[in-house]
Structure 1
Amino acid sequence: MKVYLAVVALTALLSFVLTPMARLLGVRGRVYTPTRKRDMHREPIPKLGGAAMAIAVVISMGLASLVPFLSGIYQSPMRGILVAILIILIMGVADDLWDLHWIVKFAGQILAAGIIAAAGIRVEAMPVGWFHVDNEIAQILITIFVIVLTINAFNFVDGLDGLAAGVAVIGGSAFFLYSYVLTRTINAYDYSNLSTLLTALLIGACIGFLPFNFHPAKIFMGEVGAQLIGLLMATAAVAVTADLGALEGFRFRNVPAYMPILLPLAVMLLPLLDLFMAVLRRTARRSSPFTADRGHIHHKLVDGGYTHRQAVLLLYLWTFVVGFGAVSLTYFAAEIVFTVVGIAMTLLVLLTLRPWIIRRAYYRKLNSMRAARAAQRSTRQSSEPGERRG
C-alpha cells in the first residue's frame, strides 16, 4: 500500500506543479475555452490543464518503473498504455488549439483503445455465469468499445468546475481500494497489480489538478484531461477481468465474484448515465450524438436552483454513495449494505429534487393565495348594495 500511496503523492505533486505552467502557456497562447451559451463560465479560461495531468502521469509511470515492487507490471501492456496516453495528449492538445472534427477525435480514441488491446489488456471474461471471452477478435472489439465509451462518458460529464476531476478522485479511490483488496486476496506474496497502479496514477493527477479547477476555475482540463481520465479508468476496469481466472480457482468470501463488473458500472454511473441521456436526447432531435447542448445533468441542477458549487458537491455525493456502496459489499453483508445505501440514496433523491419541491410548494401556495383573494373580492362585490355592472 505504501508504494501505491507514494505513486499517488508523486503524481499529485507533479500535477500540482505542472498545472500553473500549463495555465501560463494557455494564457500566452490564448488557448481559451470560448464563452458559449451552454457554458457556465462567463470569461475566457485557459484549457491546457489536461496536458499537465497527462505529463504528470507519464513521468510518474517512468519513476514507478524503477521500484522493484512494481517491476513485474512494466512489460508490453505498460508500453501500450504509454503510447495510448501520448495519442490522447497529442490529439487533445490539437483539439484544444484547432477544434478538431468529432470524427477525427473519435478515430483517435479508437486508435488509442486499439493499441491498449493490442498490448494485451483485454476483456477476457465476464463474471456473469463465468462467461469467458476466448475469441481474440471479440476481446479486442469489446475492449475498444469499453474504453471509447468510458472516454466519451467522462468527456460529456466535464461541464462544471471540478466535476470530472472530483468524480474521478472519488470513483477512482473506490476502485483503487477494491483492486488492492482483490490483489492481496488472490496472491498473498505479490501485491503489485496493474489496475491498482493505474487508479493510483489517476487519483494523483486529479488531486494535483483540482485546486486550480474547483469553482471558480483558473484552468480547465480540456479534451486531454477528460479523455485521460476515461482512458485510465476504463483500462483499469478492463485489466481487472484478467484476475477472474484466479477468482474462479480461489473463491473467497469477502470479494464477491460479480464485483469486477458491478464496481466499474457503479463508479462510472454518473458519466455513463449522462452519456446515455445525451445520446437519446440528441438522437430524438435528429442531430449528432456529439453535438453539444445544455441538457446535461449538471446543467439541469444549476438551472433548477443549485449554485455551481452546490451542484458539483451534490454529484460528488452521488458518486461516493454509489461507488463506495459497491465496494462495501466486499466487507459487509449485502443486507446491511443495501439497507444503508438505500437510505442514503433516498435522502440524496430528496436533496437532488429539493429546489423543484420547494418551487412547486411555493407556486401551490401562491395559487392558493390568489384563489383566496379572488374569492374575497367576489364575496365583497356580491354583498355591495346597488352594485353597478358594466
Structure 2
Amino acid sequence: MREYLLSILVAALVAYLLTPIVRVFAVWFGAQAVPRERDVHVIPTPRLGGLAMFGGMVAALVVATGLPEMRKVLADGDINVTRALLLSGGLLVLIGIADDRWEVDALTKFAGQVAAAGIFIMQGIQIYVIPLPTGESLTLPPAYGVPLTVLVVVATINAVNFIDGLDGLAAGVVGIAALALFSYAYLLSREYGLSTLTAATLIAAMLFGMCLGFLPHNFSPAKIFMGDTGSMLIGLLLSASTIMLTGQFDPAILANGLFPFFVPLLLIPAVAAVPFIDMLLAVWRRTNQGRSPFAPDKQHLHHRLLELGHSTRRAVLIMYCWVGLLASGLVGLAVFDAAWVTVGITLVVAITGVLLMLMKPKRRPRRGVAPEPPPAGRSSRHRAGVP
C-alpha cells in the first residue's frame, strides 16, 4: 500500500503545482475557451489543463520505477507499461494541445485514439480472455482481441470527453472511477492472498492522484479547463487499467461467482451511465424536433439542474453522488460477501444524493438587478423605528 500512496501523492502534488504554470502558458499560447450560448462559464477560460495532469503521470511513473518491486511490475515480461503510457499518452496530449488551440477535426482525433490503442497492443496491453457463464474463460485470438481492445480504448476516451460539460465534472467522475478500480483490485487481491502489486492497480492509483491534484483548480468556478488534452489522457489511463484488470483474477478462485470478473468492464459504463443517457435523450429530442442530432441546445441534464435553481457546484456534487453510488455498489458486490456492507454503503451515498437534490437552492439576485422597493407607506425608515 505504501507504494500506491506514494504514487497518488506524487501525481496529485505535481499536477496541483503545475496547473497554475500551465494556466499562464495557455493564456500566452491562446488556448482559451470562449463562452458560447450553451456554455455555463461566462468568461474566457484557459484550456490545456491536461498538460499538468500528464506531468503528474510522468512524475508518478518516475517514482514508481525507482521502487525495486514496482519496477519489476511495470516491465513484466512482454508488457512494458511505462513505455506504453508515455508513448500513447504523449501522442494524445500532442493532439489535444492542437485541438485546444486550433480545433482539430473529429477524424484526426479518432485516428490518434486508434493509434494510441495500437501502441497499447504493441506493448502487450490487450484483452486476452473473456469469462463465460459456465465459469470458464474464453481465450481471444488476436483477430478478436485486437479490435475489442481498440473499441474499449476509443469508447472510454470519448465517454470521458462527453462527460466534460461542467466545472470539475470529468475530473471528479474519472477520479471516482479510478478509486473504485483501485479498491476493487487491491481489496480483491488481499482477499484471495494474491500479490497486491500490479500495473493495473498502479495506473488506477496514478489516475486518482492526477484527478485529485487537478480538481481544486477545475472545480466551480474553474480557473482552467482540462480540454481535450486532459479528457483524452485520463480516458486513456482509465481504459488501460480496465483492460489490464480484465482477466487478472481467475473465476475459479472467486467466491462471488463470475460477477467480480466482469466488474472492470461494467464500471466504465456504470460511471458514464448518466451522461450517456443524457446523450441518448438529446439525440432523441433533437431528431424528434426535426433537427440534427449534433445540434447544440441547453436542455442537457446539467442545464436542467441549473434551471431548477441548483448552483454549478451542487449540480456537480449531485452527479458525483450518483456515480459514487453505482461505483461503490459494483465494488461492494464484487469484494464483500456480506450483503449488508454493500447495502449500507449504497444507502449512504443514495441518501446523500437525494438530500442534495431536495435541498432548496438559495436564490441570489442577478447582477445589475436592483432589489425590490418596500411597499408604499412602509419605508425602511419606518420599519426601523426612525421618525
What TM-score do the two structures reach when normalised by structure 1?
0.82
Q: Deviations over 1:243-292 (max 9, x none)?
A: 13xx135x143x65322423553455242442354256337638877665
1:1-390 paired onto structure 2 within 5 Å: 1-75=1-75, 76-78=79-81, 79-129=83-133, 130-185=136-191, 188=194, 190-244=195-249, 247-249=250-252, 251-253=253-255, 256-266=257-267, 268-275=269-276, 277-279=278-280, 281-282=282-283, 285=287, 293-329=297-333, 330-334=335-339, 337-338=342-343, 341=346, 345=350, 348=353, 352=357
Q: Deviations over 1:219-241 (max 9, x none)?
A: 11000111111111111011012
Q: Relative to 1, partners in 2 of residues 1:287 and 1:184: Cα closer, same or farther, differing over 3 Å?
A: farther
Count of paired positions: 351
What amino acid does structure 2 have at the position aligned with 1:248? P
Q: Relative to 1, partners in 2 of residues 1:256 and 1:209: Cα closer, same or farther, differing over 3 Å?
A: farther
TM superposition shift of 1:61: 1.1
Contact 1:318 1:348 in 2 (8 A): yes
Gaps of 5+ in 1: 357-390
Cα distance in structure 1, aligned partners of 2:213 and 2:344: 35
Q: Relative to 1, partners in 2 of residues 1:226 and 1:343: Cα closer, same or farther, differing over 3 Å?
A: same
Sequence identity (%): 34
Moved more, 192-201 or 290-299: 290-299
Gaps of 5+ in 2: 362-387
SS of residue matched to 1:3: helix
Cα distance in structure 1, aligned partners of 2:166 and 2:55: 23
Cα distance in structure 1, aligned partners of 2:144 and 2:337: 35
TM superposition shift of 1:72: 1.9
What amino acid does structure 2 have at the position aligned with 1:269? A
What TM-score do the two structures reach when normalised by structure 2?
0.82
Moved more, 257-266 or 69-78: 257-266
Q: Which residue of 1 aligns with 2:384?
A: none
Moved more, 177-186 or 41-50: 177-186
Cα distance in structure 2, aligned partners of 1:58 and 1:165: 18
Moved more, 69-78 or 27-36: 69-78
TM superposition shift of 1:352: 4.3
Contact 1:26 1:48 in 2 (8 A): yes
Contact 1:172 1:267 in 2 (8 A): no
SS of residue matched to 1:242: coil
- The structure with the larger Rg is 1
Larger helix proportion, structure 1 or 2?
1
Cα distance in structure 2, aligned partners of 1:279 and 1:161: 22
